[in-house]
Structure 1
Amino acid sequence: MSEIVEFRREDSVAVITVNNPPVNALTSAMRKGLAEALAKAREDTVIDAVVLTAAGRTFIAGADITEFNKPPTVPTTSDVIDTIDAMPKPVVAALHGTPLGGGLEIALGCHFRVVAPGAKLGLPEIKLGLMPGAGGTQRLPRLVGMDKAMAMILSGDPIDAEDALSSGLVDEIVSDDLVGSAIAFAKRVVAEKRPLIRARDRDDKLTQLRATPSKFDELAAPYLKRSRGLHAPAKAIEALRWTLDVPVDEALVREREVFQDLKTGEQSKAQRHIFFAEREAAKIADLPKGVKPLDIKRAAVIGAGTMGGGIAMCFANAGIPVTILETSDEALKRGLDLVAKNYQASAKRGGMSSEDVDIRLGLMNGTTDVSAVADADMVIEAVFEDIGVKRDVMGRLDATSKPGAILATNTSYLDVNEIAHFTKRPESVLGMHFFSPANVMRLLEIVRGADTKPELLATAISVARKIGKVPVVVGVCHGFVGNRILRVRSTEAERLLLEGALPQDIDGALTWFGFPLGVFGVTDLAGLDISWRMRKAQGAKAEIADQLCEMGRFGQKTGKGFYLYEAGSRTPKPDPEVEALIVATSKRLGIERRTLSRDDILERLLFPMINEGARILEEGIAQRPGDIDVIWVYGYGFPIWRGGPMYYADQVGLPYIRDRLTEFAKQTGDKKHEPAPLLVKLATEGRGFGSLGKDD
């Protein structure tokens, strides 16, 4: 029997315990051990029942993803579940921690399930471009109903123990001694001669849906709408439909085949890349061993505007008290009212209870007195993006904050080293670049200053995780990683307008590629005046955008930007006035307009972004190509199923990108189009960005 599967007998109950720390990942060795242990329990005439459990902090938390790129081995997870299905003795799963994916599917194959409080149960495969492949799409709806099953499988989000009990996923919540309680439960099942009804044979929660099959389409429609471009959600919905009209044995075979197809598909490979890249991004290569994060018991946010209020919500959501400082009572009230409105809207949608709203608001303390931040362990300024304003705010915080407090700037592009030296403690300063809306967007760029202490970086990463963010550590340059690359794309988009494309052509190409919005749709949403103000401060120019701003066309808020917006609508409509302006500007500048295909547009937008990413890596602003991918997927809407710009570059092929950039440089005369030395080196060597750190 496998060393990671233990077998013991408690009276007439066999206890099978998996022990593969840290998360009891479902490896081939574990599956083999489980099959052997179950066979042993079946053959032992003394044993009346089986308890399946796990050592450590969690029940089986899913498959070992590192095995996905290897040929499948037997027994598969489905084989293990088939063995449980065939058991003539009750099998009770004792669940704790995070029973996820294949781990939960094994639990679904058991006859009964008991769970410890605090457990989180889910099928997160969809987040990796997959769907459940060991019976999850067939057994879960039969236990919890189609509404619940579809929500769990299509979101990939786990549910808690109480929800699992009320929905029928588990049979009992046990507070003390999980394994002992599971053994007692198993003995009761035997004593009471309860029938061993397998999940696959249950049908009562699907009867009504079979009578009105159109209801299934209604349930599925929102998920299909939200998952445009993704393969796995549509396949998962198809598999869920099989519970209504396909014999279960056939459906289980089909499910496994679809899972295997998705696993070998490009979308899942890209999403798995992001899964691992996200975990790598929080690691700092040169962080000294033994560095521990500081304890952040109280935070303060300077500024109660949209960004400041959103950041404060992040801390309150994590149970961390937060002081919000504003310059006037009016601004403070306006900001706190907006926070309350956001929370109330979330409660109305069912995202939290009214009690949760009260608790979060109770953790916020609004003030206009700067001395109120003196007890904060971390202070984050979220004031206007102006170096003079930052100088004034950081100086006052330096004088007021307690020794040892972290002073963070939420700047999106200014020099963090310069901001740090507005204080007498630059070693206590770093950047924490949140993305708007801060209470929703998952990305957090942590900007490492020249003097930033290692403890601050460790603390920022720890805090990011506590408040539900994806942290990526970056270096100091204008715009850091995300906005530096974004600026390149914006420059290219303006150039394409002058060369022959219209806003809807460029945005259409990007949304076809998988972005939720195109360049100009995003600009209209954010407001053209924001970028205009920034350009004027830098002495920069954007031919078309600047003229639109001079015309008072600032985007959705004025009803006109690159597009027209009807009253009360956010739907963009092409505007003949803008098209005429673009054509006239091209003529004035002596640029001959030409037809640009979708591929032309995408290459001109994406390849310079990739080139800038290569320069960022050369300069050490980003530690890894995957860090850039994570930033663009979670901060800028790069389609996760394409894996981020640097991963996508490897799929296209660096030699092709190098050659196309060389052509662009000849066409435009822009030296920024010349391929970066790192890109040229990798292309010449027949390597990709993914090889960095492996051969260098």
Structure 2
Amino acid sequence: MSQVIEYEKEGDIAVLSANNPPVNALGVEVRRGLMDGIERAETEGVRAVLIYGRGRTYFAGADIREFGKPPQDPWLPAICDRIEASPLLVVSALHGTALGGGLEVALSCHYRIAVPSTKIGLPEVNLGIIPGAGGTQRLPRVAGVTAALDVITTGRHVQAPEALEMGVLDKVQDGDPREIGLAYARELLAVKAPRRPICDMAKPTPIDFDAAYDAVLRKGRGQLSPAIAVRAVQASCEADDFTAGQARERELFTQLMASDQRKGLIHAFFAERAVSKLPELQGVRPRDLHQIGVIGGGTMGAGIATSALLAGLPVLLLEMSSEAASAAQDRIASNLAGAVKRGKLSPDDQADILRNKLSLAVDYDALSGVDLVIEAVFENMEVKKQVFARLDAVCKKGAILATNTSYLDINEIAQSVSRPHDVVGLHFFSPAHVMKLLEIVVADHTSPEVVATGFALGKRLGKVSVRAGVCDGFIGNRILSAYRTCADHMVLDGASPFQIDVALTRFGFAMGPFAMSDLAGLDIGWAARKRKRAAGQDPRARDSIYADKLCEAGHFGQKTGRGYYVYEKGKRGGQPNPDVLPLIEADRAAQGISPRTFSDEEIVRRYMVAMVNEAARVVGDGVARRPLDVDVTLLYGYGFPRYMGGPLKWSDLQGLPNVLDDIRKWSEQDAYFWQPAPLLVKLEAEDRCFDDLNKER
């Protein structure tokens, strides 16, 4: 027998226990062990087989080390069919998680019992594929089409009580998985319960699958795998028999395995797990954090404080007046109320946090005991330096001084204090208690343990943390500045902000750049433009002032109710602001520009290529250590469609020579903006791609 599947006999029951830590992944040795175990049980005169997992879980899913490699025999579909076909009574006892192939194994058994904390699911769509071992055929037969589509197309985890109601589980019971599994198997044998192969059950009742397909495709903003899953489930109703339905499932699974979306989603999956693994932090112990301080209780500061409070950290929030502190408390209370409404927090916990975990102050001396302080004040270098001077004077030795600046030079801030090794950038994204990205910006003198503490904090807050170097805008906002400039150029040349937003949301972005600017606040970009102009811009750089005119009128986007769009209270989203197009037309006229027509395809291509070109500079300059750092930043902070893997994965899939051809073509009209990044040129010359760089580091 395989060592990862242990075999024993308990009377007339054969027990197959998975012992493949940490999550009993269904690698080839586990699959072989299951096959051998079933065959052995059938030759030894037992009446039933119990399958369960040792350790913390049942089979949690596939072995990620096998992703992208040719499958090895026995394949999981063959294992599931063999278990289901056994003449013995086969029972699974579940605990922990039964996800993907793990749930498919459980569904191939004749009966299923689980402890109450178990979670089941078929999350394959999140990797750009569909269940490929019968999940789309067996689940609808036990749960019905509607419930099965919900589980399969969302990839969500289902708690055991709900799974019991759906018919996926036969029994939920507290106890040790092995013991409750054995007791259940004995109970079934005692009453002479029949084998109950799902493949022999009646076909489920069909629904309007075309409507379901369209709805799922629309909801996924172009992601194919959830919609293709609808067609696989449709086969469970319409195929001639179970075998034909399985064949259709396999056909669709194979199509998706060959798709760019699958490649993009697999890349995103691995990139998220690799992004915080930095060689320089190996063995570095982060500092202890018992209480943090937040300076500034506006939208960003209140969001940062909320995020920390939800993670169980006591927070001391500093404002400049009692009135401002009270307003900040109201914002935090509103954020927490949203968490209660979403079921993330109980009303009692909300009250406890506001009463016992949140402290307010108007005097810097109150920060003397905090372990880390994050300033979230106005985006102005002199204001930031004044704050850090006060912090340097009052904060205890070893306290980490962090800035949430979006653009400013953290080296300059660090040089203004006596302990530059304790200074780090912690760039949250708004709303900070919702957005998952955290850029950890490492200045020249930031100590490794401060960096490690930043990553530890990010993990505690549930963030995806990315290391960034110091430059104007770091990783995300530096790249944003380039592709937003490209969008502004297209507006000057004839496109409208509204056409650009529509084209890019149809492409797969969560929001277009102009709607995103309204959400972030137009004053942020305005401040950055003024700062760059004051520093002196290259005379070859194109500029526009139409957005400045909106800001001069006090229109900063959603927070003022008016920006590129007009927002009405109680209504979702906004309507195009009629003031915008006349401002653009005036800007064009002043620059002598005759507008032309843009297709949606050209808008998307220019926008994406501008993004890739600047991202290549960011990697080439060392601001991002690896291309995957850029991809994760854009995925989690800027609404980039996950199924494309990130801009640099997208460019690999497009082919770097094709990207460079576009840059060189467009440089004939604007040689300043469309300068090829040196790293792009180098990779093309070496016939390499960005993913080659990910593998080097």
TM-score by length of 1: 0.90
Give the 5 Å matches for 1:588-667: 588-667=590-669
- Indicate the residue corresponding to 2:15 in structure 1: 15
For the residues of structure 2 that align with 1:327 and 1:234, how far apart are their CA atoms? Answer: 52
Contact 1:319 1:363 in 2 (8 A): no
- Structure 1 pair 426–199 and aligned structure 2 pair: CA distance change class (3 A): farther
Do residues 506 (structure 1) and 500 (structure 2) align? yes
Do residues 304 (structure 1) and 297 (structure 2) align? yes
- Structure 1 pair 569–172 and aligned structure 2 pair: CA distance change class (3 A): closer
Deviation at 1:353, TM superposition (A): 4.4
**SS of alignment partner, residue 668 of structure 1:** coil
For the residues of structure 1 that align with 2:401 and 2:503, how far apart are their CA atoms? Answer: 41
Once the two structures are superposed, residues 562-603 of structure 1 have per-residue CA deviations (whole angstroms, 9 ceiling, x without a partner) of 345577645555566533432332232133433333343333
Contact 1:68 1:263 in 2 (8 A): no
For the residues of structure 2 that align with 1:108 and 1:295, how far apart are their CA atoms? Answer: 45
How many residues are aligned here?
687
Which stretch shows the higher mean deviation, 8-17 or 277-286? 8-17
Contact 2:474 2:623 in 1 (8 A): yes
For the residues of structure 2 that align with 1:119 and 1:425, how far apart are their CA atoms? Answer: 49
- Indicate the residue corresponding to 1:687 in structure 2: 688
- Indicate the residue corresponding to 1:38 in structure 2: 38
Give the 5 Å matches for 1:14-413: 14-45=14-45, 47-116=46-115, 118-144=117-143, 148-165=147-164, 167-173=166-172, 175-200=174-199, 213=207, 223-246=216-239, 247-287=241-281, 289-350=282-343, 352-355=345-348, 357-358=350-351, 360-361=353-354, 364-369=357-362, 370-413=364-407
For the residues of structure 2 that align with 1:472 and 1:397, how far apart are their CA atoms? Answer: 26
For the residues of structure 1 that align with 2:146 and 2:460, how far apart are their CA atoms? Answer: 30
AA matched with 1:314? S
- Structure 1 pair 695–456 and aligned structure 2 pair: CA distance change class (3 A): closer
Contact 2:91 2:112 in 1 (8 A): yes
Which of 586, 592, 596 is the aligned partner of 2:588?
586
Contact 2:85 2:197 in 1 (8 A): no
Contact 1:448 1:474 in 2 (8 A): yes
**SS of alignment partner, residue 21 of structure 2:** coil
For the residues of structure 2 that align with 1:13 and 1:557, how far apart are their CA atoms? Answer: 66
For the residues of structure 1 that align with 2:622 and 2:161, how far apart are their CA atoms? Answer: 47
**Identity, % of aligned positions:** 46
Contact 2:213 2:231 in 1 (8 A): no
- Structure 1 pair 639–371 and aligned structure 2 pair: CA distance change class (3 A): same
Which stretch shows the higher mean deviation, 593-602 or 433-442? 593-602
Deviation at 1:48, TM superposition (A): 2.5
**SS of alignment partner, residue 669 of structure 2:** helix
- Structure 1 pair 674–126 and aligned structure 2 pair: CA distance change class (3 A): same
Structure 2 gaps, min length 5: 535-542
Do residues 675 (structure 1) and 676 (structure 2) align? yes
Deviation at 1:38, TM superposition (A): 0.9
Do residues 451 (structure 1) and 453 (structure 2) align? no
Do residues 485 (structure 1) and 487 (structure 2) align? no
Deviation at 1:240, TM superposition (A): 3.5
Deviation at 1:284, TM superposition (A): 1.1
**SS of alignment partner, residue 15 of structure 1:** strand
Deviation at 1:510, TM superposition (A): 1.8
- Structure 1 pair 203–315 and aligned structure 2 pair: CA distance change class (3 A): farther
For the residues of structure 2 that align with 1:260 and 1:64, how far apart are their CA atoms? Answer: 18
Contact 2:628 2:694 in 1 (8 A): no
For the residues of structure 1 that align with 2:310 and 2:569, how far apart are their CA atoms? Answer: 35
Deviation at 1:40, TM superposition (A): 0.9
- Indicate the residue corresponding to 1:544 in structure 2: 546
Which stretch shows the higher mean deviation, 592-601 or 634-643? 592-601
- Indicate the residue corresponding to 2:539 in structure 1: none
For the residues of structure 1 that align with 2:394 and 2:151, how far apart are their CA atoms? Answer: 47
Deviation at 1:16, TM superposition (A): 1.3
AA matched with 2:636? Y
**SS of alignment partner, residue 280 of structure 2:** coil
Once the two structures are superposed, residues 655-680 of structure 1 have per-residue CA deviations (whole angstroms, 9 ceiling, x without a partner) of 2322322333331241x421122111
Contact 1:77 1:102 in 2 (8 A): yes
AA matched with 1:35? M
Once the two structures are superposed, residues 286-326 of structure 1 have per-residue CA deviations (whole angstroms, 9 ceiling, x without a partner) of 33x42233343433333322222222232233333333333
- Structure 1 pair 68–260 and aligned structure 2 pair: CA distance change class (3 A): farther
- Indicate the residue corresponding to 2:538 in structure 1: none
Contact 2:125 2:154 in 1 (8 A): yes
For the residues of structure 1 that align with 2:682 and 2:625, how far apart are their CA atoms? Answer: 18
For the residues of structure 2 that align with 1:692 and 1:552, how far apart are their CA atoms? Answer: 45
Contact 1:298 1:376 in 2 (8 A): yes
Which stretch shows the higher mean deviation, 557-566 or 657-666? 557-566
For the residues of structure 2 that align with 1:542 and 1:472, how far apart are their CA atoms? Answer: 32
Deviation at 1:646, TM superposition (A): 0.8
- Indicate the residue corresponding to 2:467 in structure 1: 473
**SS of alignment partner, residue 57 of structure 2:** coil
Which stretch shows the higher mean deviation, 639-648 or 598-607? 598-607
Which stretch shows the higher mean deviation, 468-477 or 560-569? 560-569
**SS of alignment partner, residue 336 of structure 2:** helix
Contact 2:430 2:520 in 1 (8 A): no
For the residues of structure 1 that align with 2:666 and 2:586, how far apart are their CA atoms? Answer: 24
**SS of alignment partner, residue 593 of structure 1:** coil
- Structure 1 pair 406–145 and aligned structure 2 pair: CA distance change class (3 A): farther
Which stretch shows the higher mean deviation, 267-276 or 216-225? 216-225
- Structure 1 pair 605–135 and aligned structure 2 pair: CA distance change class (3 A): same
AA matched with 1:668? D
- Structure 1 pair 455–250 and aligned structure 2 pair: CA distance change class (3 A): same
Which of 520, 523, 537 is the aligned partner of 1:526?
520
AA matched with 2:373? V
Contact 1:431 1:447 in 2 (8 A): yes
Deviation at 1:623, TM superposition (A): 1.1
Contact 1:297 1:321 in 2 (8 A): yes
Deviation at 1:694, TM superposition (A): 4.3
For the residues of structure 2 that align with 1:371 and 1:203, how far apart are their CA atoms? Answer: 72
AA matched with 2:692? S
- Structure 1 pair 580–694 and aligned structure 2 pair: CA distance change class (3 A): same
Deviation at 1:14, TM superposition (A): 1.6
Which stretch shows the higher mean deviation, 241-250 or 432-441? 241-250
AA matched with 1:600? E
**SS of alignment partner, residue 667 of structure 1:** coil
AA matched with 2:98? P
- Structure 1 pair 361–254 and aligned structure 2 pair: CA distance change class (3 A): farther
For the residues of structure 2 that align with 1:545 and 1:137, how far apart are their CA atoms? Answer: 50
- Structure 1 pair 391–161 and aligned structure 2 pair: CA distance change class (3 A): farther
AA matched with 2:626? R
**SS of alignment partner, residue 339 of structure 1:** helix
Which stretch shows the higher mean deviation, 249-258 or 277-286? 249-258
**SS of alignment partner, residue 99 of structure 1:** strand
Deviation at 1:265, TM superposition (A): 1.1
Contact 1:307 1:436 in 2 (8 A): yes
AA matched with 1:48? R
- Structure 1 pair 293–526 and aligned structure 2 pair: CA distance change class (3 A): closer
Which stretch shows the higher mean deviation, 683-692 or 104-113? 104-113
Contact 1:128 1:275 in 2 (8 A): yes
